[in-house]
Amino acid sequence: MLTHRIIPCLDIKDGQTVKGTHFVNIRHAGDPLELAQRYVLQGADELTFLDISATQEQRATFSGLVRRIARKINIPFTVGGGIRSVADVSRLLDAGADKVSVNSAALQRPDLIDDIAKNFGSQCLVLAIDTKRVEDADQVFVHGGTKPARKITQQWARETVERGAGEIMLTSIDHDGVRNGFALGITRELATNLPVPVIASGGAGTFEHFRDIFLEAGAEAALAAGIFHFDEMRINQLKEYLYKQKVAVRI
């Protein structure tokens, strides 16, 4: 039976973990290495580290921190932010990352997806999509959710999978940080129609939100940040609840 993954996400800015609401109102959340080790002990299935200002500042993602993380944890982790080339991917995988996440650069140059999949395999490529509801359509946004990409989310997701993306990480800007639940509708649509796992992100606030994104929307994994960073929810307790709700998880 396929088990669902719980993935804490650590947004990194200036070497520290931060958390915002609707991609703004950023506040400090702690040391990324300490948080990562805490999540491993609590039973996280994977971790995701996103250098949230790398694309806007036009610099490479933090390979030094990746090396330190790889030495300290023993579960898979994904790294994203500022990845623009096969060389960037190679550098991060060599530093110890298991997967990379690409967003803005793939929209600017879609054949980057093909290049990464060809050189490293689809299993290490997570295609991140930041989506927002605008005029009755799900639209893609880039640069930390600040600029519309003029693409429909469903169409872009399908294209990226056809090009070789191994997973889709779908973040709802409308739901991000407000803890009213994940975006069930768009998540269900992608999970139903795409042949790759969909990671739901944005809106987690209660145990029930995780249950719903798995059982009602069909997400393969769920990603959250603030509720874990500020110790408002422990992963082991979440998994115990999900297990009792007949959600397949590793406990």
Q: Where are the domains of the chain?
A: 5-244
User: What pLDDT score was predicted for residue 61?
Assistant: 58
Work out the pLDDT band at 22, boundaries 50, 70, 90. very low
User: What pLDDT score was predicted for residue 177?
Assistant: 79
> Does the annotation count 212 as an active-site position?
no
Rg (CA), the chain: 16
Q: Choose the catalytic residue: 45, 51, 88, 130.
A: 130
Hey, what CATH class is 5-244 in?
alpha beta
For 233, the token pair is: 């929810």
User: What pLDDT score was predicted for residue 231?
Assistant: 87
Q: Choose the catalytic residue: 11, 45, 88, 138.
A: 11
Residue 73 has pLDDT above 70, yes or no: yes
- Could you tell me the pTM of the whole model? 0.92
**Cβ partners under 8 Å of residue 244, min gap 6:** none
pLDDT, mean over the chain: 91
User: What pLDDT score was predicted for residue 57?
Assistant: 45
Residue 56 has pLDDT above 70, yes or no: no
φ, ψ (nearest 5 deg) of residue 250? -85, 120
* Helix orientation angle between 153-163 and 184-193, rounded to the nearest 10 degrees: 30
Do residues 32 and 71 make contact, with C-beta atoms less than 8 angstroms apart?
A: no
> Does the annotation count 45 as an active-site position?
no
